[in-house]
Amino acid sequence: MHLDNKIIYLTGGTKGIGLECARAYAAQGATVVTVSNDAASNTEDVLFADVSKEEDVRRTIQYTLDKYGRIDAVHNNAGIAHPAKPLHETTGQQWDDLFSINVKSILYTTKYAFAALRESKGCILNTSSLVGEIGQENHAAYSGTKGAMNALTKSMALDYAPFHIRVNAVAPAGVWTPMLREWNAAQENAQDMERYLNEIHPLGYCPEGDVIADVCVFLLSEKARFVTGLIMPVSGGAELGYRRI
C-alpha cells in the first residue's frame, strides 16, 4: 500500500483524471477528501466547493483537519479548459475564470493547508498539461494557466523544501475524460479527431485517466521521496513532437 493511512485533499475528483486518482489513492490505502463543484456529488467525503473562492477552500480544508487531524497531500486537480479561442477572442471574464480556477486555487489550497503539510512533511501535486510547455492552437489562455502552474510548481518546490514539503506536477497530453469524449462526439470529423488524438502520442493511443493516476500515486508516495520541482510528462512521448496524420 503505497499511500497507506495518508489523508489526501483532492480537488476536482469526481470526474475524469480526478476520479481515477481518487480511486487509485483509495486502492493504495489513502483516505481521500474530494472537493467538487458538482452539488450532486456532495457526500460525506465529497465536499461541494468552488475552488476559485477562498472561503470554500478554507472551509473544506478545515473540515478535513477537524475530521482527520492532518493532511498528508494536496492534489490540485480542478480545472477548466474552455474557451477554445485565440487570445484576441477571449473575453476578460473567460480569462479571469481560467486563472481563478486553474491557478489562484493553488494559492488558496497552499495558504490553508501549509501548516498541516509542514507538520506531516507532506506534498503538493498539481495537474498541469503538456500545453503549458509547448502551447496549443486556439487555447492560448488555457495554455497560459498551465505555464503559470509549472512555474509555480518549481518556485513552490524551492520555497517549501526547507520544510520537507515536496511539490510536483503531472503533465498529460490527451486523456479520454468524459469532457474530451463529449467534445469529440460533437465534431463533424469525430473519427478523424479520434485518430489524431491517438497518433499525437508516439506510443500509439490516447489513454484513459488511470495511466495518469498511476503516476500520481508514485509522486505522492515515499517512492518519490527525493523528487521535487518535477513537471512530469505522462504523455506517451507526445512532448517529443506531435505528428501530423
**Phi and psi at residue 116, in whole multiples of 5°?**
-70, -40
What Rg value do the Cα atoms of the chain yield, rounded?
A: 17
Residue bearing cell 475528483: 13
Q: Give dist(CA 138, CA 147) in Å, integer.
A: 15
Which one of 9, 112, 142, 160 is the catalytic residue? 142
Active site residue 142: yes
Q: Give dist(CA 134, CA 138) in Å, integer.
A: 13
**Phi and psi at residue 231, in whole multiples of 5°?**
-100, 100
Instruction: For 168-200, give one letter per residue: b (16+ CB within 10 A) or e.
Output: bbbbbbbbbbeebeeebeeeeeeeebbebbbbb
Give the residue numbers annotated as catalytic, written as ranges: 142
